[in-house]
Structure 1
């Protein structure tokens, strides 16, 4: 085959791929929900006990603009209004810009949001439970879906599991500081 023909086929293939991705991004819609979809291709539930009262854990978790102080994998978090249901926030992690919207705000107890990023949509829920010893049980439930998550399910599952474990570990370190 001639070089021009190979180049032309490569260019045509790349153009078709880009067009396909654009169509998928424009036509994908995700239902607004505060619940993790039990059919989501990637999902996790993780729990940790933090040796700090719920007030301290809530303070760290609910101050979105300061997440990067204890979670350095997050850059430029910005809450676009008061901490209440319906308020959006923007943040960067893993090279992606994520636009999320709060769906649950129950001070000292529950915080949840959902958001979309290229080829994916996630529902993320945090539940804080006070324990008799003054500690806090923190449970995180997250589900991810979308065409890219479906296509690369094992990659997204591993990334989700390790990301949430890291969030919990760093939240614990920050909350347990004297």
Structure 2
């Protein structure tokens, strides 16, 4: 009786193993959400034509995606949000395992990816497939960097606008208080208005 073991990392003995990394000027929570929102991959990952995830992202979940006309079904083997995710599955005779790690670096994130490919098609043409995988992972990381940094810049701009709005509101309140202290009679119209509202039928 055979047992099926769940991979814990990529296959270091595979015919092709590729590692890449990038530093992204965006917080780790933002980068993690971007990467694990699988259904929205086609919105920023131009090499992916479609992606579908029908259940919560956890170990054992399977999601489907299409890239370069190839349909892929990947099973999630490990998730440790927002630090690590490992998935894999067969496609056209290639057994792939793909690991991503996310490490906070101040306000930025170091993203490391490692992927292994094995199987007859890989062993028959390992050099070309290694080059293709290196190119694919490089493009993926660059698109992730640009998209995450754009989102981070928009988040920072919203935060600055909120801070300015709060400062303006508190400044206006303080100025109004100074006017009232300088001329208490300014309260009379306000009190009259509030009293009128309370008596309104």
Regarding TM over 0.5, the answer is yes
State the TM-score, normalizing by the size of structure 2. 0.71
1:45-74 deviations in Å (ceiling 9; x for gaps): 111100000011001001000011110111
State how far apart, in whole Å, the 2-side matches of 1:97 and 1:118 are.
Answer: 9
Identify, as 1 or 2, the structure richer in helix.
2
**SS state of the match for residue 87, structure 2?**
strand
Structure 1 residue 155 and structure 2 residue 123: aligned? Answer: no
State the TM-score, normalizing by the size of structure 1. 0.80
Instruction: For 1:100-111, list aligned pairs within 5 A.
Output: 100-111=74-85
The one of 13, 25, 48 equivalent to 1:39 is: 13
**SS state of the match for residue 12, structure 2?**
coil
Instruction: For 1:24-173, list aligned pairs within 5 A.
Output: 32-132=6-106, 134-173=107-146
Please, which runs of 5 or more residues in structure 1 have no aligned partner?
A: 1-29
State how far apart, in whole Å, the 2-side matches of 1:34 and 1:94 are.
Answer: 28
Count of aligned positions: 148
1:89-136 deviations in Å (ceiling 9; x for gaps): 00011221101001111111111101110010110000000012x100
**Larger Rg over CA atoms:** 2
Which structure is richer in relative contact order (CA contacts within 8 A, separation 6 or more)?
Answer: 1
**SS state of the match for residue 100, structure 2?**
strand
The CA RMSD measured in Å over matched residues stands at: 1.3
Q: CA separation of 1:82/1:53 partners in 2, compared to 1, >3 Å: closer, same or farther?
A: same
- How far apart are residue 81 of structure 1 and its match? 1.1
Please, which runs of 5 or more residues in structure 2 have no aligned partner?
A: 154-201
Partner of residue 160, structure 2 = none
